Amino acid sequence: MEQIKTHGQKQCVFFDHRDSAILSGSATCELMSLPQERIVEIKDGCSAALEADLKSNKKKVIEKKQLLEDTQEKMYSVEEKWIKNEITRDTYDRWYSTYNSTILNLKGAIERLGQNDGRAFTILEKNLEMLTDIRFVYSKADIIQKREFVNLVFDSNLYYQEGIYRTPTMLNIFSHNSLIMKEKG
């Protein structure tokens, strides 16, 4: 079989192979589309995980705020001792930089953990329904996205043999119709 090399990938020069890939790809995409019940399961699971993360983040924010308050008190104490000439300049500089660094890190962590703008929920809601129509998703993708999709779904194990695309592996989430796919070849 004659093949040409394109960007490190082998591409078959026989047009009927490429055409059959397009035709079988759309049929395969239909079979890989997830049923609505599965989408609901995924949505519920993801929502529960996101809620758990938000709850965990709220606890972490409370802990970090307490730690911030404690560190600020320590820094205030160091400043007081410096003003009263109870510590040397070197001691003051060392503790001031340590506490100041800790305070800045804690404030950043509190800000990151405290962000709850619902972006994750929005992305989930917007894109999850697309999994019911994999053919549409695949048709709207550019060539690089299609290649990545195929590599991801088939774990980079898709090959062409005897007029049929074959693979020993497939992402479990898309394999609910694998027996039908096997029958159709």
The average pLDDT across 35-42 equals: 81
- At residue 163's C-alpha, the angle toward residues 160 and 168, to 5°, is 40
pLDDT at 185 over 60: no
Handedness of CA 71, 74, 80, 86 (dihedral sign): negative
The closest alpha carbon to 57, from 15, 107, 8, 109, belongs to: 109
Residues 109 and 54 in one domain: yes
The stretches of the chain forming alpha helices (DSSP H) are 15-32, 36-83, 89-114, 119-128, 134-140, 143-153, 178-184
Q: Check: CB of residue 106 under 8 Å from CB of residue 71.
A: yes
Indicate the range of 35-39, 54-58, 164-168, 179-183 predicted with least confidence: 179-183
The range of the structural domain enclosing residue 68 comes to 37-125
Q: Check: CB of residue 65 under 8 Å from CB of residue 109.
A: no
Residues 115 and 157 in one domain: no
Residues 117 and 91 in one domain: yes
Query: Bigger pLDDT: 30 or 8?
Result: 30
DSSP of 117-149, one letter per residue?
A: --HHHHHHHHHHGGGG-HHHHHHHS-HHHHHHH
Residues 73 and 109 in one domain: yes
The average pLDDT across 101-109 equals: 96
Residues 26 and 8 in one domain: yes
Query: Bigger pLDDT: 124 or 185?
Result: 124
